[in-house]
Protein backbone atom coordinates (compact mmCIF):
# COMPACT_ATOMS: atom_id res chain seq x y z
CA UNK A 1 0.00 0.00 0.00
CA UNK A 2 2.82 2.41 0.88
CA UNK A 3 4.52 1.73 -2.47
CA UNK A 4 1.26 2.42 -4.30
CA UNK A 5 0.85 5.70 -2.41
CA UNK A 6 4.41 6.69 -3.30
CA UNK A 7 3.74 5.92 -6.96
CA UNK A 8 0.70 8.16 -7.08
CA UNK A 9 2.52 10.91 -5.18
CA UNK A 10 5.28 10.71 -7.78
CA UNK A 11 2.79 10.80 -10.64
CA UNK A 12 1.11 13.82 -9.05
CA UNK A 13 4.44 15.60 -8.68
CA UNK A 14 5.26 14.83 -12.31
CA UNK A 15 1.91 16.21 -13.48
CA UNK A 16 2.42 19.44 -11.53
CA UNK A 17 5.98 19.88 -12.82
CA UNK A 18 4.97 19.29 -16.44
CA UNK A 19 1.95 21.59 -16.15
CA UNK A 20 3.98 24.48 -14.74
CA UNK A 21 6.69 23.86 -17.34
CA UNK A 22 4.31 24.14 -20.29
CA UNK A 23 2.32 27.00 -18.77
CA UNK A 24 5.49 29.06 -18.39
CA UNK A 25 6.41 28.49 -22.04
CA UNK A 26 3.04 29.95 -22.99
CA UNK A 27 3.29 32.75 -20.43
CA UNK A 28 6.72 33.81 -21.70
CA UNK A 29 5.43 33.96 -25.26
CA UNK A 30 2.32 35.86 -24.14
CA UNK A 31 4.39 38.44 -22.26
CA UNK A 32 6.37 39.02 -25.46
CA UNK A 33 3.27 39.62 -27.55
CA UNK A 34 2.20 36.20 -28.84
CA UNK A 35 -1.31 35.02 -27.93
CA UNK A 36 -1.16 31.64 -29.67
CA UNK A 37 -1.07 29.68 -26.41
CA UNK A 38 -3.91 31.73 -24.96
CA UNK A 39 -6.11 31.18 -28.02
CA UNK A 40 -5.33 27.45 -27.88
CA UNK A 41 -6.47 27.29 -24.24
CA UNK A 42 -2.98 26.44 -23.04
CA UNK A 43 -2.28 29.54 -20.97
CA UNK A 44 -3.61 27.80 -17.88
CA UNK A 45 -2.43 25.83 -14.86
CA UNK A 46 -5.22 23.30 -15.38
CA UNK A 47 -3.29 20.03 -15.96
CA UNK A 48 -6.01 18.68 -18.26
CA UNK A 49 -5.08 21.23 -20.94
CA UNK A 50 -1.49 19.98 -21.06
CA UNK A 51 -1.93 16.21 -20.79
CA UNK A 52 -0.48 14.06 -23.53
CA UNK A 53 -2.15 10.62 -23.28
CA UNK A 54 1.10 8.78 -23.95
CA UNK A 55 3.73 11.04 -22.40
CA UNK A 56 1.78 12.25 -19.36
CA UNK A 57 -0.21 9.13 -18.51
CA UNK A 58 0.88 5.90 -20.21
CA UNK A 59 4.69 6.19 -20.07
CA UNK A 60 4.83 7.42 -16.43
CA UNK A 61 2.40 4.66 -15.35
CA UNK A 62 4.44 1.97 -17.09
CA UNK A 63 7.62 3.32 -15.55
CA UNK A 64 6.14 3.62 -12.08
CA UNK A 65 4.70 0.11 -11.95
CA UNK A 66 7.75 -1.51 -13.57
CA UNK A 67 10.23 0.03 -11.17
CA UNK A 68 11.77 2.33 -13.79
CA UNK A 69 12.26 5.99 -12.75
CA UNK A 70 9.16 8.01 -13.61
CA UNK A 71 9.61 9.84 -16.90
CA UNK A 72 7.18 11.73 -19.09
CA UNK A 73 6.25 14.78 -21.11
CA UNK A 74 3.25 17.01 -21.81
CA UNK A 75 1.84 18.45 -25.02
CA UNK A 76 4.16 21.21 -26.26
CA UNK A 77 2.61 24.65 -25.96
CA UNK A 78 2.25 26.28 -29.40
CA UNK A 79 3.60 29.74 -30.10
CA UNK A 80 4.42 31.85 -33.13
CA UNK A 81 7.99 33.18 -33.04
CA UNK A 82 7.09 35.83 -35.61
CA UNK A 83 4.75 37.46 -33.09
CA UNK A 84 7.39 37.80 -30.40
CA UNK A 85 8.57 41.27 -29.49
CA UNK A 86 12.18 40.11 -29.52
CA UNK A 87 12.71 38.31 -32.81
CA UNK A 88 16.25 37.06 -32.10
CA UNK A 89 16.19 36.24 -28.40
CA UNK A 90 12.43 35.66 -28.04
CA UNK A 91 12.42 31.95 -28.95
CA UNK A 92 15.34 31.32 -26.58
CA UNK A 93 13.51 33.10 -23.75
CA UNK A 94 10.36 31.06 -24.41
CA UNK A 95 12.46 27.90 -24.36
CA UNK A 96 14.27 28.90 -21.16
CA UNK A 97 10.98 29.60 -19.38
CA UNK A 98 10.20 25.87 -19.20
CA UNK A 99 13.28 24.50 -17.41
CA UNK A 100 13.64 27.81 -15.59
CA UNK A 101 10.21 27.26 -14.06
CA UNK A 102 11.27 23.77 -13.00
CA UNK A 103 14.28 25.11 -11.12
CA UNK A 104 12.15 27.79 -9.47
CA UNK A 105 9.52 25.19 -8.54
CA UNK A 106 12.25 22.99 -7.07
CA UNK A 107 13.47 25.86 -4.89
CA UNK A 108 9.94 26.65 -3.69
CA UNK A 109 9.27 22.98 -2.93
CA UNK A 110 12.63 22.83 -1.13
CA UNK A 111 11.62 25.75 1.07
CA UNK A 112 8.32 24.02 1.83
CA UNK A 113 10.20 20.82 2.65
CA UNK A 114 12.58 22.61 5.00
CA UNK A 115 9.67 24.28 6.82
CA UNK A 116 7.81 20.97 7.05
CA UNK A 117 10.78 19.27 8.68
CA UNK A 118 12.10 22.02 10.93
CA UNK A 119 9.14 24.26 11.78
CA UNK A 120 6.23 21.86 11.71
CA UNK A 121 8.25 18.86 12.83
CA UNK A 122 6.97 16.42 10.23
CA UNK A 123 8.92 13.18 9.98
CA UNK A 124 10.46 11.65 6.84
CA UNK A 125 7.50 9.28 6.44
CA UNK A 126 4.97 12.10 6.38
CA UNK A 127 3.11 12.11 3.04
CA UNK A 128 3.62 15.85 2.54
CA UNK A 129 7.35 15.45 3.11
CA UNK A 130 7.54 12.54 0.67
CA UNK A 131 5.57 14.51 -1.92
CA UNK A 132 7.82 17.57 -1.57
CA UNK A 133 10.95 15.42 -1.89
CA UNK A 134 9.54 13.95 -5.10
CA UNK A 135 8.50 17.39 -6.35
CA UNK A 136 11.99 18.77 -5.80
CA UNK A 137 13.65 15.78 -7.46
CA UNK A 138 11.36 15.64 -10.50
CA UNK A 139 11.64 19.37 -11.14
CA UNK A 140 15.43 19.24 -10.95
CA UNK A 141 15.55 16.31 -13.38
CA UNK A 142 13.15 17.99 -15.83
CA UNK A 143 15.09 21.24 -15.65
CA UNK A 144 18.49 19.65 -16.23
CA UNK A 145 17.22 17.25 -18.92
CA UNK A 146 15.56 20.02 -20.93
CA UNK A 147 18.81 21.95 -21.08
CA UNK A 148 20.28 19.28 -23.35
CA UNK A 149 20.75 21.16 -26.68
CA UNK A 150 19.13 18.53 -28.89
CA UNK A 151 15.63 18.74 -30.45
CA UNK A 152 12.93 18.49 -29.29
CA UNK A 153 14.31 19.63 -25.92
CA UNK A 154 14.30 23.29 -24.88
CA UNK A 155 18.07 23.50 -24.93
CA UNK A 156 18.05 23.19 -28.72
CA UNK A 157 15.96 26.36 -29.05
CA UNK A 158 18.32 28.19 -26.73
CA UNK A 159 21.33 26.98 -28.71
CA UNK A 160 19.76 27.95 -32.05
CA UNK A 161 20.23 31.64 -31.20
CA UNK A 162 23.99 31.11 -31.27
CA UNK A 163 23.82 29.00 -34.44
CA UNK A 164 21.84 31.62 -36.37
CA UNK A 165 24.51 32.09 -39.02
CA UNK A 166 24.95 30.56 -42.50
CA UNK A 167 28.21 28.85 -41.49
CA UNK A 168 26.31 26.82 -38.87
CA UNK A 169 23.61 25.75 -41.33
CA UNK A 170 24.87 22.14 -41.55
CA UNK A 171 25.08 21.80 -37.77
CA UNK A 172 21.52 23.09 -37.37
CA UNK A 173 20.26 20.78 -40.11
CA UNK A 174 21.93 17.78 -38.48
CA UNK A 175 20.47 18.62 -35.07
CA UNK A 176 16.98 19.22 -36.41
CA UNK A 177 16.83 16.09 -38.58
CA UNK A 178 18.92 13.53 -36.72
CA UNK A 179 18.93 14.96 -33.19
CA UNK A 180 15.70 13.39 -31.91
CA UNK A 181 16.73 9.92 -33.10
CA UNK A 182 20.23 10.19 -31.60
CA UNK A 183 18.75 11.51 -28.36
CA UNK A 184 16.38 8.55 -28.04
CA UNK A 185 19.16 6.05 -28.80
CA UNK A 186 21.44 7.72 -26.26
CA UNK A 187 18.74 7.68 -23.56
CA UNK A 188 18.10 3.96 -24.09
CA UNK A 189 21.81 3.09 -24.12
CA UNK A 190 22.53 5.34 -21.18
CA UNK A 191 19.77 3.81 -19.07
CA UNK A 192 21.03 0.26 -19.58
CA UNK A 193 24.77 0.85 -19.96
CA UNK A 194 26.41 4.22 -19.37
CA UNK A 195 24.30 5.81 -16.60
CA UNK A 196 25.68 9.24 -17.47
CA UNK A 197 22.34 11.00 -17.14
CA UNK A 198 21.58 9.21 -13.88
CA UNK A 199 24.88 10.40 -12.44
CA UNK A 200 24.23 13.99 -13.57
CA UNK A 201 20.65 13.95 -12.27
CA UNK A 202 21.76 12.46 -8.96
CA UNK A 203 24.45 15.10 -8.50
CA UNK A 204 22.01 17.91 -9.35
CA UNK A 205 19.41 16.56 -6.91
CA UNK A 206 21.99 16.13 -4.15
CA UNK A 207 23.26 19.66 -4.70
CA UNK A 208 19.73 21.04 -4.54
CA UNK A 209 18.96 19.33 -1.24
CA UNK A 210 22.33 20.45 0.15
CA UNK A 211 21.24 24.07 -0.39
CA UNK A 212 18.75 23.54 2.43
CA UNK A 213 21.13 21.46 4.51
CA UNK A 214 19.18 18.26 3.80
Q: Which one of 22, 35, 170, 176 is the catalytic residue?
A: 22
Domain segments of the chain as ranges: 2-211
22 catalytic residue (yes or no): yes
- What confidence tens digit (pLDDT) does each residue in 61-90 have? 887 777 766 778 899 999 999 999 988 899
Closest by CA position to 17, among listed 140, 163, 115: 140
Averaged pLDDT score across all residues of the chain: 89
Q: Could you tell me the maximum CA-CA distance found in the chain, to the nearest angstrom?
A: 59
- b/e burial code for range 137-166 (CB count within 10 A of at least 16 → b): bbbbbbbbbbbbbbbebbbbbbbbeeeeee
Question: Which ranges in the chain belong to alpha helices (H)?
Answer: 2-31, 36-39, 59-66, 90-118, 127-145, 154-160, 169-189, 196-211
Please state, in angstroms and rounded to a whole number, the distance separating the CA atoms of residues 155 and 138. 18
pTM of the model: 0.91
CB 152 within 8 A of CB 178: no
Per-residue pLDDT of the chain (214 residues; tens, 9 = 90+): 458 888 899 999 999 999 999 999 999 999 999 999 999 999 999 999 999 999 898 888 887 777 766 778 899 999 999 999 988 899 999 999 999 999 999 999 999 999 999 988 899 889 999 999 999 999 999 999 999 998 889 999 888 888 776 776 777 777 778 878 888 888 888 777 878 998 999 999 999 999 888 8
Please state, in angstroms and rounded to a whole number, the distance separating the CA atoms of residues 84 and 29. 7
Amino acid sequence: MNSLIHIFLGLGAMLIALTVHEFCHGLAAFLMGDETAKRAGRLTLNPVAHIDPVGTILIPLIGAFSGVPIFGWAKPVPYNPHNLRYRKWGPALVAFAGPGSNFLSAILALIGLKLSLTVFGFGPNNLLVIFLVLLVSINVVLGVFNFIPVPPLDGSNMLSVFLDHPKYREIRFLLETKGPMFLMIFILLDFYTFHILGTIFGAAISFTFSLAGL
